Amino acid sequence: MKKSTTRRQVRLGEIACARSGDKGSGANVGVIAHTPEGFQYLREALSARRVGKFFKPLGLGKVVRHELPNLDAFNFILPGVLAGGASRSLRIDAQGKALGQALLEMELEISEKVLARCKPRKKNRS
């Protein structure tokens, strides 16, 4: 499995979709891999630490990641990321609605071979 193949950069948005919103003074970002293989890959590549580092400039507490293997999904809790919470924040994105789109811009390193299995399959297949 660890066989070295050509590696390249991939935007998270190419292998997953996301949705974010406010949760008290923080926010959550759900990330759903397009394929089960993509979920397995992101288990390693998209750690809570990595996400915390990505959003660090916004100022936030410790990121918690919950796994939902049944949905090929993760739920990231981002405490304090809204600078005062949805009702008090002066930021334009006071509700954290844009966080999902931001995270999907994250660049990840991946092998061509794994990437092929992370891309969505053709429709009408179960």
Partner 1 sequence: MKSILIGNAQGFWGDSINAPARLVSQQPDLDYLTLDYLAEVSMSILALQKERDPATGYARDFVEVVRSLIPFWRKGSKVRVITNAGGLNPQGCAQACAEVLRQAGIRRMKIGVVTGDDVLPVLRADPGTKTFTNLETGEPITKISGSLVTANAYLGAQPIIEALNAGADIVITGRVADPSLTVAPCVAEFGWDWNDHDRIAGATIAGHLIECGTQATGGISTDWLEIPDPANIGFPVVEVNPDGTCFVTKPMRTGGVVNERTVKEQLLYEIGDPDNYLSPDVTVSFLSLQVREQKKNRVRVSGAKGRPATSSYKVSASYRDGFWAQGTLTIFGRNAVVKARRCGEIILQRLREAGYELQRSSIECVGAGACMPGLLEKSIEAELLETVLRVAVADPRREAVERFAKEMSPLITSGPQGVTGYAAGRPRVHPVFGYWPCLIEKARVKPQAYIATTNG
Stretch that binds partner 1, among 36-44, 45-53, 97-105, 111-119 (CB under 8 A): 97-105
Q: Of the two residues 19 and 117, which places its CB atom closer to partner 1 in the complex?
A: 19
Residues with Cβ < 8 Å from 8, sequence gap 6 or more?
109, 110, 111, 112, 115
Q: What are the angstrom distances between the C-alpha of 101 and each of 14, 73, 122? A: 12, 16, 24
33 sits in which H/E element: strand 26-33
The rounded distance, in Å, linking the Cα atoms of 119 and 84 is: 37
Which of the residues 51 through 90 are near partner 1 (CB under 8 A)? 54-55, 57-58, 66, 68-71, 73, 75, 77, 84-88, 90
| Number of amino acids touching partner 1 (CB under 8 A) | 40
Binding site for partner 1 (CB under 8 A): 13, 17-19, 21-26, 28, 30, 32, 54-55, 57-58, 66, 68-71, 73, 75, 77, 84-88, 90-93, 97-98, 100-102, 104
